[in-house]
Structure 1
Amino acid sequence: MELTVVMPCLNEAETVEVCVRKALACMEEHGIEGEVLIADNGSTDGSQQLARDAGARVVHVDAKGYGNALMGGIRAARGKYVIMGDADDSYDFGSLMPFVEQLRDGADLVMGNRFKGGIAPGAMPPLHRYLGNPVLSFVGRLFFPSKIADFHCGLRGFRRDSILNLGLQTGGMEFASEMVVRSTLAGYDVREVPTTLSPDGRSRPPHLRSWRDGWRHLRFLLLYSPKWLFFYPGIALMMIGLVAGTALTFGPVKIGQLAFDVDTLVGASAAMVIGFQSALFALFTKVYAAEEGFLPESRRVRKLISMVTLERGLVVGGLLALAGLVGLVMSLVHWQVRSWGALDPRESLRIVVPAATALIMSFQTIFASLFVSILGIRRTRESSVDVAARAAEEAAEALSREESAAATPQV
C-alpha cells in the first residue's frame, strides 16, 4: 500500500464522513493504492461508525491528546507514505497530489503552507493568523536551520518509516512543532507546498486553546534549543557583567548625569555568575539530550566535552579560587591599614566583590567538570557494554559454526 491518510478524531460526527469520502475519492481518481485511517481518541457521538460507513478503517487510541492520537494512527498505518490532517473539513483532502508527488520525489516530510495556498475568510482567527502562527514559525526558523514558513499546518505528508525512526514523544498540540524540529535536526529532506484552509464544518468550538497551546509550542521550541534558552542569554549576561565590572573596579563611572558606583558593581558580579551558570547549563543540556536521543549529537559539543576534562576543570577552578583568595587577602590588608576600623564601602567593595565573584565561579567550574565527567562515565560504560555485546555475539557465532561442522557427516 502506498498511502495512508490519517485523521485524528474526537467527536467529529458532523464532518468526519465528508473528509473520508474526499480522501478516498482523491486516491481513486489518481490511481493511488491507499486507505483512510481514523485515529479515534474516545469519541462518544458515533464518529467511529460514520467513518466506517464512509470507507475508513478505525483504530482506537487510549492515550488522550492530539499527538498521541496521531502517533497511534501512524503506527497503525499500512501505507509507505502518510498524509495527516484534521477531520473537521478545514483541509482539502481532495488535493493530496502535491504532497504525494513530493514524497515520490524523495522528500521525508512535506509541509502544507496555508499562507501561500490561501486562507478563506473566517478560517483562521486573527490572533492565530497575524500573531501566533507567524511569530512561532519565525522562532522555529530562528532556533533551527529550517525554511518552513508555516510550522503549524495540520495537513502534511511524510514517509512513515522516517517519522517513526524519530521517536516523537510529545502527546499534545506541540506534536506539530516536534515533527518539524526533529526532522530538521535529523537532516531529513523537508519541503513545503501550498495548501488551502477553509472554515471548519463543525458547530461546536475547536479543541485548540490559543494561549495554552501557543505556550506549549513556544516552550517546546525553547527546550529543544539550549543555545537560545541558555547559551546566548548566558554569554550576553557574562559580557555585560565583565565589561561593567572591569570598569567599576577601578572607580566610579559617569555617563552624562548618571553615576555608576559599587552598587552597580554588585549587579555586574551577579550578571557574571548567572551568565556563567546559564552557559554551563547549555553544555549540560546538549550532552544529556544527545545521550538520551532528544537531540542529535554535535561535533562541536563532542570536541568541547573532550577538552573539558576533570583535570583541566580542577586546574581552571583552582586558579580562579587562588585569584579569589588573593583578593580576600588584599581586603584584609586594606582593613588592617585602616586599623581594623570602619571601612568606606566604595573602597572595600571594589576588592571584595571581584574576589567573591572569582571564588563563586571557581566552584561552578569545578562542579561543572565533575558533572561532565560523570556523563563521560556513562558513555564509557555504554561503549564497554557494546564491545562486550559484540564479543559475545562473535563467540556465539563461532560456537554455532563449530557445532555445525561437528554435526556435518565426514566423507
Structure 2
Amino acid sequence: MKTAIIIPCYNEAKTIRKVIFDYQKTFPEADVYIYDNNSTDGTDEIAKAAGAIVRYEYKQGKGNVVRSMFREIDADCYIMTDGDDTYPAEDAIALEEAVLSGNADMAIGDRLSSTYFTENKRPFHNTGNVLVRKMINFLFHANVKDIMTGLRGFNKEFVKSFPITSKGFEIETEMTIFALDSNFSIVEVPIGYRDRPEGSESKLNTYSDGIKVVKTIIGLFKDTRPFAFFSTISAVILLLCLGFFIPILTGYVETGMVSKYPTLIVISAAATIAIINFFCGVILSVLKKQHRHNFERFLNSLHYLTKINK
C-alpha cells in the first residue's frame, strides 16, 4: 500500500527542511511531495536538497495547489500537511492507519481537542475556528470537532472524486462539507499542535479569509441542501409578509376598508416570490437527488477500477 505525503507550500523556507526530514523519518517508505506555489524565498530549492519531490503550481492559492496534487499523484493513502512545522509528523501515523485499514475515507487531525487554543497566538483565529465548526455542524447536522485543520488523510476514492472549486484557504471547509454531503466515512484523531516558530509568518488573513470561508459554507449549503436553503428563505419572507398583513386584515375587519393598498401590493408580490422560491427548492432537491445517484454510480465504478489495478 503506497502512501504519499503531500505538502502545499508558499514561502516556507524557515521550516520546510525540518518538515520534510520529520516525515521522511516517520514514513520511510512514503514519497514526500512539495508543491511550490510561487515561493520567492527558495522553498523549492531547499525542498529538493532535502530529498523531496518538488512540483509547481503557478495559480496562487492553496485550493489551486490541492487540486493539482489530487489530480497528479497516485497513491493508496494521501497525508496532507502544512509546510510550517505546526503538526508533529508522528501524529499522522494514526491518520494513515485509519485510511489504510478502511475505517476512514477522510481522517482528520483534530487540533482543537488538544493544544491548539494554548499554542495559537492569534485569538481571532481561535474564535473563527469555533464559529465555523458550530455553523457547519448546525447546518449539516454533524459533529465534526475540527473543520479547518491542515493535517488530513485521504483514500484514493475521496481524492479522485472530490470536485475542488475553492481557490484559497477555504479548501479545508470544502473538504469537510463534501465528505459530509457525500456520505464518506470521517474519523477524527486528536493531534498535537504547535505555533509557528519565530520568523515564520502565517499566510492567513483573519478577516478576508474568514469571510471567504463563511461564503463557502453558505454557497455549499445552498448547493448540497437546496430544499432547506430555499424553504428557509421562503419561510422568512412569508413571516415578514404576515407581520405586515395582519394590521391590514384587522383594519379591514373593523372598517370594511383597506387603508394601505401600496403595502398590500408589496406583500402580495413578496408572497409570490416566496412561493416561487419554495418550488425552486423542491425542483433543485430532485436534481440533487439525481446527482447523488449518479455520484454513487461513479464511486462504484472508481472502486471497481481501483480493485482491478491492485
- What band does the TM-score fall into relative to the shorter chain? 0.7 to 0.9
Identify which of 85, 91, 116 aligns with 2:113.
116
Partner of 1:171: 167
Provide Cα deviations, 1:263-283, integer angstroms capped at 9, x if missing partner.
Answer: 765664454234334324434
Partner of 2:274: 275
Identify which of 29, 34, 51 aligns with 1:38.
34
Stretches of structure 1 that go unaligned for 5 or more consecutive residues are 255-260, 299-411
TM-score normalised by the chain length of structure 2: 0.81
Q: State how far apart, in whole Å, the 1-side matches of 2:34 and 2:269 are.
A: 55
Give the Å deviation of 1:78.
3.6
Q: Would the aligned equivalents of 2:14 and 2:200 in 1 still touch at CA under 8 Å? A: no
Q: State how far apart, in whole Å, the 1-side matches of 2:220 and 2:251 are.
A: 43
Give the Å deviation of 1:124.
4.5
When the two structures are aligned, how many residues end up with a matched partner?
285
User: What is the DSSP-based 3-state SS (H/G/I as helix, E as strand, rest coil) of the residue aligned with 1:96?
Assistant: helix
User: What is the DSSP-based 3-state SS (H/G/I as helix, E as strand, rest coil) of the residue aligned with 1:13?
Assistant: coil
Q: Counterpart amino acid of 2:187?
A: R
User: What is the DSSP-based 3-state SS (H/G/I as helix, E as strand, rest coil) of the residue aligned with 2:194?
Assistant: coil
Partner of 1:127: 124
Q: State how far apart, in whole Å, the 2-side matches of 1:67 and 1:109 are.
A: 17
Stretches of structure 2 that go unaligned for 5 or more consecutive residues are 295-310
Find the structure with the greater CA-based Rg.
Answer: 1
Q: State how far apart, in whole Å, the 2-side matches of 1:297 and 1:243 are.
A: 41
Q: State how far apart, in whole Å, the 1-side matches of 2:19 and 2:151 are.
A: 12
Matched, 1:205 2:201: yes
Give the Å deviation of 1:243.
6.7
Provide Cα deviations, 1:139-176, integer angstroms capped at 9, x if missing partner.
Answer: 11112143212110111111133222122222211111
Q: Would the aligned equivalents of 2:109 and 2:191 in 1 still touch at CA under 8 Å? A: yes
Deviates more, 1:15-24 or 1:55-64: 55-64
Q: Counterpart amino acid of 2:120?
A: A
Q: Counterpart amino acid of 1:132?
A: G
Q: State how far apart, in whole Å, the 2-side matches of 1:39 and 1:282 are.
A: 40
User: What is the DSSP-based 3-state SS (H/G/I as helix, E as strand, rest coil) of the residue aligned with 2:173?
Assistant: helix
Q: State how far apart, in whole Å, the 2-side matches of 1:290 and 1:173 are.
A: 29
Q: Counterpart amino acid of 1:98?
A: A
Residues 203 and 290 (structure 1), Cα distance of their counterparts in 2 relative to 1, 3 Å cut: farther
Q: Counterpart amino acid of 2:116?
A: I
Q: Counterpart amino acid of 1:40?
A: D
Q: State how far apart, in whole Å, the 2-side matches of 1:82 and 1:183 are.
A: 15
Give the Å deviation of 1:95.
2.0
Q: State how far apart, in whole Å, the 2-side matches of 1:268 and 1:114 are.
A: 49
Residues 66 and 202 (structure 1), Cα distance of their counterparts in 2 relative to 1, 3 Å cut: farther
> RMSD over aligned Cα, in angstroms?
2.8
Partner of 1:70: 66
Q: State how far apart, in whole Å, the 2-side matches of 1:270 and 1:253 are.
A: 22
User: What is the DSSP-based 3-state SS (H/G/I as helix, E as strand, rest coil) of the residue aligned with 1:117?
Assistant: coil
Q: State how far apart, in whole Å, the 2-side matches of 1:141 and 1:135 are.
A: 10
Q: Counterpart amino acid of 1:188?
A: F
Give the Å deviation of 1:236.
2.9
Give the Å deviation of 1:250.
4.8
Q: Would the aligned equivalents of 2:100 and 2:155 in 1 still touch at CA under 8 Å? A: no
Q: Report matched runs for 1:7-406 at 5 Å.
A: 7-28=7-28, 33-106=29-102, 107-119=104-116, 121-129=118-126, 131-201=127-197, 203-226=199-222, 227=226, 229-242=229-242, 245=245, 248-251=248-251, 262=260, 265=264, 268-269=267-268, 271-283=270-282, 285-286=284-285, 296=292
Q: Counterpart amino acid of 2:4?
A: T
Give the Å deviation of 1:22.
0.7
Q: Would the aligned equivalents of 1:140 and 1:146 in 2 still touch at CA under 8 Å? A: yes
Residues 233 and 297 (structure 1), Cα distance of their counterparts in 2 relative to 1, 3 Å cut: farther
User: What is the DSSP-based 3-state SS (H/G/I as helix, E as strand, rest coil) of the residue aligned with 2:90?
Assistant: coil
Q: % of aligned pairs identical?
A: 24
Q: State how far apart, in whole Å, the 1-side matches of 2:253 and 2:107 are.
A: 56
Give the Å deviation of 1:84.
0.7
Give the Å deviation of 1:182.
1.0
Q: Counterpart amino acid of 2:235?
A: I
User: What is the DSSP-based 3-state SS (H/G/I as helix, E as strand, rest coil) of the residue aligned with 1:245?
Assistant: helix
TM-score normalised by the chain length of structure 1: 0.63
User: What is the DSSP-based 3-state SS (H/G/I as helix, E as strand, rest coil) of the residue aligned with 2:6?
Assistant: strand
Q: State how far apart, in whole Å, the 2-side matches of 1:185 and 1:239 are.
A: 29
Residues 39 and 164 (structure 1), Cα distance of their counterparts in 2 relative to 1, 3 Å cut: same
Bigger relative contact order, structure 1 or 2 (CA pairs below 8 A, ≥6 apart): 2
Q: State how far apart, in whole Å, the 2-side matches of 1:174 and 1:290 are.
A: 26
Q: State how far apart, in whole Å, the 2-side matches of 1:202 and 1:281 are.
A: 52
Q: Counterpart amino acid of 1:282?
A: G
Residues 273 and 20 (structure 1), Cα distance of their counterparts in 2 relative to 1, 3 Å cut: same
Q: State how far apart, in whole Å, the 1-side matches of 2:34 and 2:89 are.
A: 14
Q: Would the aligned equivalents of 2:113 and 2:145 in 1 still touch at CA under 8 Å? A: no
User: What is the DSSP-based 3-state SS (H/G/I as helix, E as strand, rest coil) of the residue aligned with 1:94?
Assistant: helix
Q: Counterpart amino acid of 1:193?
A: V
Residues 114 and 45 (structure 1), Cα distance of their counterparts in 2 relative to 1, 3 Å cut: same
Provide Cα deviations, 1:53-95, integer angstroms capped at 9, x if missing partner.
Answer: 2221111112221011122123333421011111011111232
Q: Would the aligned equivalents of 2:76 and 2:100 in 1 still touch at CA under 8 Å? A: no
Q: State how far apart, in whole Å, the 2-side matches of 1:216 and 1:297 are.
A: 30
